[in-house]
Every structure is written in C-alpha cells, then in structure tokens.
Chains A and B, each alone.
Chain A
Amino acid sequence: MRISTFWYCVKQGIKNICRNIWFSLASVATISACIFLFCMFFSIMVNVQHVVHLVETTVGITVFFDEDLTQTQIHAIGDQIGRRPEVASMEFTSGDDAWEIMKEEYFEGFEELAAGFEEDNPMAGSSSYQIFLNDLSKQEQFVNYLQNLEGVRRVNYSSSAAAGLTSFNTVVGLLSTLIIGVLLAVSVFLINNTINMTAEFRKHENQIMRYIGATNGMIRAPFVVEGVVIGLLGAVLPLCFMFYLYGRAIGYVQEKFQVLSGIFQFLPLESIFPYMAATAMLLGLGIGFFASFFTIRKHLRV
C-alpha cells in the first residue's frame, strides 16, 4: 500500500468516526470503562503479588532435626531439601548459633544468668534450616514432604498469612477476569454496532468502490482504522486517568490507613505503568481491530 493510500484510509476512518460521533463516543466510553477496570485490577493484583512475594521472602519454614543426628547427617538432609524446585533459599542455624541468638534476645542485661549454661548448651539439639519458598501457595504440600522426611523432628511454619494473601490474590484475579470479560463483550458489541452504522452510511461509497475495482482490503481499511482509533482512544483515556489517580490513591491509603503501610509496601507508579500502559493499549487495539475487521466482512459483498 502506498503512503498516500494509507493516509487516505486513515483520513476516511477518522471521517467515519466524525460521521457517527455519538456512537463512536459511546464505544470509546465503554472501552474506556473496560480498560479502566482492567487497569484498576491490574494495579491491585500487581501490588498484592508484590506483597505476597514480600511475605514469601520473609515468612520461612523452620525444620528441626532429631537430637541424635550428627551435623553431617543434618547437612545431608539439608542438601536433599535444597535440591527441591520449590526452595528459593535456605539458611542453616546450628545449635551454637541458636544459643547465641537466644542469649541476645532473652538474656540481654542478665548475662550472668546465661553464663550458668555455658558448659551445657540448652539449644544443642536445635540445629535447624530456615527455608524460603518460590511460591507460597505450595507451602502446605512442601511442609507435608518435610514432615515425612526421616530425621525431621518438627516443622514450624505460618499458614494463615500466606493462605490469606494467596486466596485474596485468586479472588481478585477471578473477579477482574469476570468483569473485564463482560465489559469486553459489551465493547465488542458496541464497536460492532458503530461499524455497522458507518457501513450503512458508506454503503453507496462502498458500492462505487467495488465497481471501480477496489480490493476488499481497500474497502475494509477505513473501517479498521475507525475501530482501531476508537480502541486506542478507549485505552488512552483511562491510562491518563490512572496516571493521575494511582499516586493519589496510594497517598490516600497510606495516610488514612497508616497501619497498612507497615504491612503493605505499594509499588511506585513508574514500575507498573509501562506494563499497564502496554497491555491496555494492546487490549484497546485488539478490541478495535478484531471487532471492526469481523463486522465489516458481511458488508464487503456488494
């Protein structure tokens, strides 16, 4: 296609939008609503995932071993655990290290009390591994595996925080998919209507084009341009809104719910916006392109 022909098609597509301005605006509004919700859920999901990831890196599983095991045997079991794919990292704490930590935490200021245990380390049998997982949702399964290992005495872990966050993440994901799905269908339906309307307006012109020898591509191009422009506008508007809103929303939450700021660490706008913008633009482009491309098919035969 020549550049002049390309610009001609773009111009005609924009003319189509202007001819049907109210239908076009309705389509843009629906796509905007759809993409705004997408952006909102995207932000929530990304932040929840970020928090879950933080929890994953701070909440570990502690494994204690039978007291009669030697250090070598404990390390052998540790190596076996370390080869598991679920394991992100692990730290070994010997009985002596555990006693040092305990002295610091519980006997600070009362060192003379701790001195009584110098010859007989009460934590001698408390060698342990602290294990951090890649994916917290697999914690239960992994704990089961650990409990069945020979030589393992006890496994300490916290299930409530991880399970809560994981299920919240899943609910947000499902809810957003559902709402976005419905809005997507409505957007496609509205674009379909808009393109049908324009096709009716342009019926005469399309017929002449057909007689002159225009290809299907040439007849279709202005409608696809129309759909794509509507889709892109529908993406740009909510993105601008999100750009403005995100920082303020985080500021508001941190100010009003200060207790949350200790638990949640929100991602800064610049780290999520490029991905959000790219996905939203692709979504808008995709809705506009496919809805117009398939709608115009039935109008091509004159």
Chain B
Amino acid sequence: MIEITNVCKEYSEGNKALKNVTITVEDGEFVFIMGRNGSGKTTIFKLLMKEEELTSGKIVVNDMNLGKMPRSYVPKYRRRLGVVFQDFRLLDDRNVYENVAFAMRVVGASSRRIRESVPEMLQMVGLSAKYKMFPHQLSGGEQQRVAIARALINRPEVLLADEPTGNLDSHNAMEIMKLLDEINGMGTTVIVVTHSHEIVEKMHKRVIHMERGCVISDDAEYVDDAEAEDEDDYEEDEAGDDDEENAGSVTEDGNIYED
C-alpha cells in the first residue's frame, strides 16, 4: 500500500511543486496520475523513487516511511520498485537479453537465476524471438517492452511508469498499456504518470488529476462513468453534456475541469 499524506515539495524558495498532496494506492491497484507539464506528477514519481526528498508530509510505501529512510537503505528499497521511463533508457551496447539480465546482475543475482529468469520474462513481454537484437534494431514499442521486462525481472511490488507511451504511436501505446494491465493482473501495483487522455479513457482505471501541485480530482469512479459513457455512445447518445458533469473528466481538447 502506498500512502502519500499531506506532502509538500519545494525545490527552491517559492517554487512549490507539490502542495498538501494526499493519495492512497491499495496493493494491486492500477492508477493513472494525469496532469499537464508542471502539475507535479513527475515530482510524485521522483519522491516515490526516493530520488528527491519531501519538504513536509509523509510517504509510506509498503510500511516503509520514505522520509525516515536512511540513504544506505535506498538501494534495497528501489529493488522493490520497477521503473519504466518514456525514453526507455536501455543500454545501446547490449542486446535484449543482456539489458534485462543487467538488472539482475547489478543486484547480485546468481548466473543460474539470471539464465532461468530472463527467458521467462522475455516470453512474458513477447520478445523471446528477439533476445539477441540490440535496441537500435527494435521498434519503439519493442524497446519499451524490454524496459518493462527489465523493470519486472527482480519481481517488484510496485511498477512506476513515467510517460511509458510518450514516444509511441497509438497502436504501440495501447499494446504497452495492455501489457501493464496484464502485469497488474498478476498482483503488481502499477502507477502510470501520463498526460495522454486517449489512453486513460480506454483503460478505465482510477485516475488522479493534478494541476499546479495539487490533486484536483481522484477519480476512483472513472471506470464506471467511462463505461456508462461508452454504453451511452453505443446507444446513440443524446445527452452530449454528460461528460462535463463527471468530476475530473476531460473534454476533447484536453482541458481539465475542476469540481
């Protein structure tokens, strides 16, 4: 369980990235954090990664209080997280197999475990046949699959993805989201930071909207509303203004409406 309670983050005098943010994510949940640039969503990602220190408030991840965590414990904590980035961050001089194995090697896994786990993981992300290829020989979607395989290889409890579909076309983006959904189905908590409304709408998951460092809506009901909306569309919807009545929903031009 992830509990973010009254968290404030100030980078420099007057530059407040987060203002009293409170979010709770249950084990096994799939959550989108949405917002425009500067809304504070990446700051939350960095705080969860323990890459930045919070200014005030409290963050507890699976009973670990990040504010009180000594720096020497951070590597151990990070092994319980999987991280995926928009730019994939693969090692160009290593092939698919080595990129995934790298994550196991740096945490000191045995060669035998690496030989067993990596092919399994590559099969799961659908890249078994391409294990010898180098990143530049793969499509964007495939590169992101490698990154996901690398993030999952150490069996993390939480998967954090920062704009994982930002560099992908809509088809590949949906493929990646389906993969993340499958991973979530296996019990891993997934938190995706994104600004893609298209994806969020199609996934029907919980969505937290952020703006100027504040949570402006935590739409746990989004699933039902969206489903209802889909049904309405199917039945030749007449009530076109229904969307706007839904808390935290978005219009086609991407504007967020605050309740």
Contacts and interface: CB of A to CB of B under 8 A. Distances in A.
Interface stretch (B14-22, B77-85, B171-179, B236-244): B77-85
A214 B49 contact: no
Nearest to A12: B105
Given A212-B78, A213-B79, A215-B75, A1 B108 contact: yes
A218 B111 contact: no
Contact of A213 (B51, B75, B110, B111): B75
A4 B75 contact: no
Contacts of B102: 208, 212
B76 interface: yes
Secondary structure at the B interface, as helix, strand, loop or mixed, is mixed
A4 B111 contact: yes
Contacts of A215: 75
Interface string A1-41: 11011001000000000000000000000000000000000
B75 A214 contact: yes
A248 B101 CA distance: 53
Contacts of A205: 91
B89 interface: yes
Nearest to B106: A214
B113 to A, nearest CB: 10
A208 B89 contact: yes
A302 B49 CA distance: 12
A209 B49 contact: no
A57 interface: no
A217 to B, nearest CB: 9
A145 interface: no
Interface residues of B, number: 22
Interface in A269-284: none
Contacts of A5: 105, 108
B102 to A, nearest CB: 8
B110 A218 contact: no
Residue among A1, A212, A302 facing the most chain B CB atoms (10 A cut-off): A212
B25 interface: no
Contacts, number: 51
A213 B76 contact: yes
Contacts of A1: 108
Contact of B154 (A4, A8, A204, A213): A213
A218 B109 CA distance: 12
B107 interface: yes
B103 interface: yes
Nearest to A211: B83
Contacts of B49: 211
Interface string A184-217: 0000000000000000000011011111111110
Contacts of A4: 105, 110-111
A1 B110 CA distance: 10
Nearest to A8: B105
B100 to A, nearest CB: 11
Contact of B107 (A207, A213, A216): A213
Contacts of B105: 4-5, 8
B170 to A, nearest CB: 27
Interface of B: 49, 51, 75-81, 83, 89, 91, 102-103, 105-108, 110-111, 150, 154
Given A208-B102, A214-B107, 15 more contacts: A204-B91, A207-B89, A208-B89, A208-B91, A209-B106, A210-B75, A210-B78, A211-B83, A212-B78, A212-B107, A213-B75, A213-B76, A213-B106, A214-B106, A218-B108
The 7 closest A-B pairs by CB, nearest first: A213-B79, A213-B78, A214-B106, A4-B111, A213-B75, A215-B75, A212-B103
